Structure 1
Amino acid sequence: MVDNGNGASSGLKKVRLKMPVQVEDLRDLEVGTVVYLDGVLYTGREGLYNKLLIERDEPPVPLQSISNVNFHCSPAASVHDDGSYEMGAVTATASFRFSKYLTEWFETSKCKMIIGKGGMSVEDYKTHFVPHDAVYLTTVGYGTGALLGRGIKHVDVHWLEELGIAQAMWVLTVENFGPFLVESDLQGNSLFEQQNRIVNERVEETYRGLKPPALKRYGETTSRDDEVV
């Protein structure tokens, strides 16, 4: 792990990790740390999980020999005349949908890091991630797909015809790939959960004194704990 210290403009701790990641390096990660990655990772979501865990197909390549980092994403890929592929951008997809697969996935793949969008519940982190010494990184905002694409140096793909572009297993060689945020550490702490608590403590104070909304959708709540109207 290379510690790049605190960014002068953001004040956030930044690190670069080499893949496959080492548990010793993961122990030093704190929620909110900015992470950049070097090495090889693979994409995999419900299509890959179903083939390997439900249909019990053999993996196209030995997972543990490739990487221990799994990216939940949808790539923007194109094929060249010589049959090689280029990935100009890659956008993360919401990971909470894949919770039911994760305990078996960690046991099968020996994955130690999952990258996705939006995080998962603290219960998921405690149930699936913590027992397997795994962490979760989240992408930052919706406009970083092309930025991530700049860090992709080489692309291989498996099960493209069977699963399609979004669901295929893409093997990406990357350099300075990021930025990502540590959403959950090895203890199962959640950056989003921590920030939600801080925000919720101030919600009522923020809206105190405002008139009730004149218009609202059918069934919409005006409880600030449930929904910001």
Structure 2
Amino acid sequence: MREVHLTTPVGDADLAALALGDVVYLSGALYTAREGVYRKVVDEGHGLPEAVRALTNVNFHCSPAASVRPDGTYAVEAVTATASFRFGKSMSRWFEHSGTRVVVGKAGLTELAYREWFVPHGAVYLTTVGYGLGAAYGRCIRRVRDVHWLRELGIAQAMWVLEVERLGPFLVEGDRQGRSLFALANREINRRLGEVYAGLPAYALGRFGETTARTDEVV
């Protein structure tokens, strides 16, 4: 596990060097995009704003806590990541339309999803760490560069283009080879689970609702 500092747009060599479990901090520009933006860009064919595509290749699956200052500018003081599985049906087309190479979100995706959608586009997935870090992430936001589709989509769903400094920590959950940190950990846990339960009587291994045969239920 390494601590890695990346500047957006993230270059191909930097992406290739990332390893599962690396702790990543981002500086530069990125944009928020969730269901509403994906619908605009992918389903309705609006495409990603050209200025945004030229500026950055990092998409954060999140909702900002945004407000309007007295001078009319925007402040984003916290961001809350959303689960990335909900974007699954659109991810392949999203990469084609947006040029995204780094997706930041919550909870990750399956290894199959990484292999089929991320690997062909040379993209990686970074996951937020735990819960309750929205305000901490917010302190890394230096300014709002722009906002798109605010009137149509509202604050949570609009595309916010943010300037950030040392935004993180994030973990590399999906790498360029299509491997998943969470899947790797789950396989290791499952491999050793038998050792944990070794010697216990069979009836200690089942609980209500966890078996397919009524005779196996613990009574």
Q: Structure 1 length as normaliser, TM-score?
A: 0.85
Match of 1:158 in 2: 148
Establish whether residue 29 from structure 1 lines up as the match of residue 18 from structure 2. Answer: yes
Q: Deviations over 1:147-205 (max 9, x none)?
A: 11110000132111211121110001000110000001111111111000011112243
Match of 1:75 in 2: 64
Q: Deviations over 1:38-60 (max 9, x none)?
A: 10000001110111111123545
Note the C-alpha offset of 1:36: 0.3
Mapped to 2, the partners of 1:107 and 1:184 lie a distance apart of: 19
Counterpart selection for 2:85 from 88, 96, 107? 96
Q: Deviations over 1:93-113 (max 9, x none)?
A: 111110111111111111110
Mapped to 2, the partners of 1:72 and 1:32 lie a distance apart of: 19
| Identical residues among aligned pairs (%) | 55
Partner letter of residue 117 of structure 1?
K
Number of aligned residues: 209
Match of 1:227 in 2: none
Aligned-pair Cα RMSD in Å: 1.9
Q: Is the 8 A contact 2:57 2:102 kept in 1?
A: yes
Q: Is the 8 A contact 1:63 1:109 kept in 2?
A: no
Counterpart selection for 2:40 from 48, 51, 54? 51
Partner letter of residue 14 of structure 2?
D
Mapped to 1, the partners of 2:197 and 2:81 lie a distance apart of: 33
Structure 1, 62-71 or 132-141: larger mean CA deviation: 62-71
Partner letter of residue 54 of structure 1?
D
Q: Which aligned segments of 4 or more residues in structure 1 are displaced greater than 2 angstroms? A: 57-63, 202-216
Counterpart selection for 1:200 from 190, 193, 197? 190
Match of 1:168 in 2: 158
Q: Is the 8 A contact 2:9 2:29 kept in 1?
A: yes
Partner letter of residue 38 of structure 1?
S
Match of 1:63 in 2: 52
Secondary structure at the counterpart of residue 221 of structure 1:
coil
